[in-house]
Amino acid sequence: MASPDIPIIETRAVSRYFSTGRGSPGRGRATLKAVDGVSLAIRRGETLALVGETGSGKTTFGRLLLGLYKPTSGDILYQGSSVLDSRSAAARAVRRNIQGVFQDPYSSLNPAMTVGQAIGEVLKVHQIADRSERPKLVAELLETVGLSPAQAARRPRAFSGGERQRIGIARALAARPDVVIADEPLSALDVSIQAQVLNLLIALQEQRGLTYLFVTHDLDVAKHISQRTAVLYLGRVVEYAPTSEIFAEPLHPYTRALVEAAPRLTAQRKAIKPALTGDIPNAIERPPGCHFHPRCPLVMPICREVEPQLLRLSDSKSVACHLHDPDRSPLAKQ
Ligand code: SF4
């Protein structure tokens, strides 16, 4: 058993770049820095929310942890051991111990298979039970996520969106993971169903001691489920703090805009565009200096030239903004 002080998952300056043909005219191929030097630690049993707009890199980060992408640079550790050598014990362990729940569970379910077969397949792949034991475990998993064992014989198209997401959760649990990467698991669901699925995920975490990385564009969801939140903008962490502090006193102007725009988790809520001017810039040609400067209401001349580094303000709080750098901020010199 690993020391409880060691994060269950840790990334060290991890980056994932993609080469793309969509560069400026005449400049040939370009590099999209989807994730750029992200260092985060997730403690056993907690939920870390990873928030940001579409294009911030949060899905790519989740896929790195799931092993679906290899990092361009940096390291990923599971219980203190690097998983980048695919032959290592840690790399083998993460294939079963880290599982994903995705936005569109339908796309990961084979329409030709019954739900029982789809869940049983995971048990088989990870050698969790003999063939004869699988139907009983499938039935238990369906009950765990609030479905009837009798539904094992039905195919995915017979289920509603919320039920399919429950099946997606049952499939993830079938591997008996420690860590679940939940990538926008609510955003394809009707608002009336979102709270049910969120409450199911919270209950499963308590029952099974799961650790979650919860990827979401919705800060109100992050507030309900997470203990800490990391805010991502164009592949970089701009703020990292306990979730209660993110809401009580957001430090980065981008976080503040997201918090002000966060809708409430009620049946009446509607999508509200963040209170930001302009759209998130193209990740291929990120603005120089602070990547947020074209949209920042507090921009200073230095912001256009010098990229702020993630400054550790306390054991639990970090921010990447010149306003909070005592060597650069005009606020600090007053
Ligand atoms: Fe705004 Fe400057 Fe801070 Fe960037 S560094 S968020 S532009 S104040």
Give the model confidence (pLDDT) of 23-69 as tens digits. 556 666 889 999 999 999 999 999 999 999 988 999 999 999 999 99
35 and 15 Cβ atoms separated by less than 8 Å: yes
Residue with tokens 């010149």: 322
Q: Is the CB of 234 under 6 A from ligand 1?
A: no
Distance in angstroms between the alpha carbons of the first and the last residue of the chain: 51
- Is the per-residue pLDDT at 271 higher than 50? no
Q: Is the CB of 323 under 6 A from ligand 1?
A: yes
Residue 187 tokens read as 């955003």
Share of the chain residues as helix, strand and coil, in percent rounded to the nearest 5:
35, 20, 45
Lowest-pLDDT range of 24-38, 234-248, 268-282: 268-282
44 by Cβ neighbours in 10 Å (0-12 / 13-18 / 19+) ranks as: middle
Q: Is the CB of 331 under 6 A from ligand 1?
A: no
Residue 175 tokens read as 């591997």
Distance CA 213, CA 47 (A): 6
272 by Cβ neighbours in 10 Å (0-12 / 13-18 / 19+) ranks as: exposed
- pTM value? 0.91
Partners of 77 in the β-ladder: 10, 82
Sheet containing strand 318-319, strands side by side: 98-101, 179-183, 211-216, 47-51, 228-233, 236-242, 318-319, 311-312
- 257 C-alpha vs ligand 1 centroid, how far in Å? 13
273 and 257 Cβ atoms separated by less than 8 Å: no
What is the reported pLDDT for 326? 83
Q: Is the CB of 310 under 6 A from ligand 1?
A: no
- 231 C-alpha vs ligand 1 centroid, how far in Å? 14
Higher pLDDT, 29 or 231: 231
- 53 C-alpha vs ligand 1 centroid, how far in Å? 17
240 and 317 Cβ atoms separated by less than 8 Å: yes
- 316 C-alpha vs ligand 1 centroid, how far in Å? 21
Q: Based on C-alpha coordinates, what's the Rg of the chain?
A: 21
